[in-house]
Structure 1
C-alpha cells in the first residue's frame, strides 16, 4: 500500500436471510459475516411477475436489515420459481410439493434469483438478477413421490434441491452463476461486495 492510499474501512457484512443454504454458500467466500432475519412480508403484489417479485423482495430484505445495521454491508436475496410467468414459492408441505413437481415435469422453469447489497452509511445500493433456466424431465408420479420422501425439499422454491438428489429430476440447467440455483449467486455477490468496498482476497 502506498503512503497516498487511505486505509480501507472493512465493514461488517450481514446476510439478511434465515436460509441455511445461503449461509452455507456465503461461507465459501471465507469472509466473516453475521446473519439477521429480514422480517419482510413476501406476499406477491397483484399482477407482479416472478422476476419483479424476486427483485423487490431481495431489496426489501436488504433494506430492512440495513435499518438495524446502518454501518454494515447487508446482503438480501430472494428466489422465485417462474413457470410460464406464474410464481411458485416454497411448497411448505408434501401435497403442495407433489402439485408443483407435477406442474413442472417436462417444462422449462426459470428460477429468478435476485440479489441486493445495501450499506446505509455509504449510500451504496445495488440490485441484480441471476436467472437460471431449468428443464425438468417428464417425471412419473412414482419418481416424484420417491424423490420427495427421500429429500423432503419443502423449504425450497420449486420443491427441488439441485445440489442433492434433485439433480436426478432435471434434464438441463442453463445459467452464468453456478450457485444461483441453490439460492445465492456468488459471482454476483462477490462483485457487489467488492463494489461496496469489501475486500475478499
Structure 2
C-alpha cells in the first residue's frame, strides 16, 4: 500500500531562480540546502564540474530524504574551457564580463534526479551557447549597478537586463540559462514516477 503512494519531491537547492522555475510545473515540492563543496578539481572541465556538482547536490539531499525524489542542479559558465562561477563581488563580476565581451560562452546547466530508496538516478546537461556583445566598460558598470547579478554564474542574468548584454542565445531547453532545464527535468521526473500534467 505504501509503495503506491506518490513520492514527495525535494529541490536540492536554495536558488530562488530554480525554485521559481520548478514552480512552473505545478507539482508540490519542498526545498533543502545541499551541503556540497563546489570547489573545482584540478584540471576539471566546466562540463564535468557542472555534472559532478548537480549529482553531488542531489545525492547529498537524497541521503537526508531517502524516500523522496530529489532534484540537484548546477550551472558553470564555460569560456574557452575556463569555468566561471558566481562572481560574489562587484569587482569579480566586472572582470568576468570584460573577459566574456565579444565572445561565445557555453553555460553548462546540469540537472540530476535521484531517489535513494528506489535506486533511481539520472543526470543530463543542457548546454546554452551565448554570444556576448562587445560591451564597453560603461555598459558593464551600468548593468552591474542595475542588476547586481553576483549570485549568477558568469554574472549574466538573462531573464532581466542581462539580455541587453547578448547578441544571441542558442539552446534546446529554454529555461536552462536561468538555472534549471525544465524539459530535461520533466523527462527525468516522469521516469522517477512523479506525475506531471495530471488532473487539476
Q: What residue in structure 2 maps to residue 88 of structure 1?
A: 84
Matches within 5 A, 1:30-109: 30-109=26-105
1:117 partnered with 2:117 = no
Q: Distance in 2 between matches of 1:129 and 1:97?
A: 24
Q: 2:130 aligns with which of 112, 134, 138?
A: 134
Q: What residue in structure 2 maps to residue 158 of structure 1?
A: 154
Q: What residue in structure 1 maps to residue 185 of structure 2?
A: 189
User: Aligned with 1:56: secondary structure?
Assistant: helix
Q: What residue in structure 2 maps to residue 22 of structure 1?
A: 18
RMSD (Å) for aligned C-alpha atoms:
0.8
Aligned residues: 195
Q: What residue in structure 2 maps to residue 144 of structure 1?
A: 140
Shift of 1:8: 4.5
**Structure 2: 5+ residue stretches without partners:** none
Q: Distance in 1 between matches of 2:35 and 2:131?
A: 32
**TM-score when scaled to structure 1?**
0.96
**TM-score when scaled to structure 2?**
0.96
Give structure 1 regions of 4+ aligned residues with deviation exceeding 2 angstroms: none
Q: What residue in structure 2 maps to residue 170 of structure 1?
A: 166
Per-residue CA deviations over 1:62-84 (Å, capped at 9, x if unaligned) read 00000000000000000000000
Q: 1:12 aligns with which of 1, 8, 14?
A: 8
Q: Distance in 2 between matches of 1:10 and 1:138?
A: 50
Shift of 1:10: 1.1
User: Aligned with 1:29: secondary structure?
Assistant: coil
User: Aligned with 1:112: secondary structure?
Assistant: strand
Q: Distance in 1 between matches of 2:14 and 2:183?
A: 21
User: Aligned with 2:155: secondary structure?
Assistant: coil
